[in-house]
């Protein structure tokens, strides 16, 4: 785990270890209604931009019926 965020705590962010660089700047720039990963990705943070962009490319928000045939086709080809 790289970080844990809980707004109800005194310290909203908990950073286990020292893997993430520029933590103070990330905290300052992240709005209370924003995800830290989104802020880091849009700011081109050297460590957190790659996972941010992975989610942008690979996370699909779907409706059960919209694009059903396309999703079935991609699932079938991925299983081969």
Give one word for 67, left, alpha or beta, with left for phi > 0 and alpha for psi -120 to 50.
left
Residue 10 pLDDT greater than 90, yes or no:
no
What mean pLDDT is predicted for residues 22-37?
84
Residue 60 is predicted with a pLDDT of 77
DSSP 8-state secondary structure symbol assigned to residue 22: S
pLDDT tens-place string over residues 52-66: 999 888 887 777 777
Residue 27 is predicted with a pLDDT of 83
Domain ranges of the chain: 4-79
pTM given for the model? 0.60
Residue 79 is predicted with a pLDDT of 72
């Amino acid at each position: 785990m790289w970080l844990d965020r809980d707004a109800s705590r005194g310290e909203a962010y908990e950073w286990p270890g020292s893997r993430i660089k520029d933590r103070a700047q990330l905290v300052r720039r992240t709005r209370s209604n924003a995800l830290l990963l989104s802020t880091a990705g849009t700011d081109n943070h050297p460590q957190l931009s790659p996972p941010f962009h992975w989610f942008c490319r690979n996370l699909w928000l779907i409706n059960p019926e919209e694009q059903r045939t396309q999703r079935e086709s991609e699932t079938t080809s991925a299983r081969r």
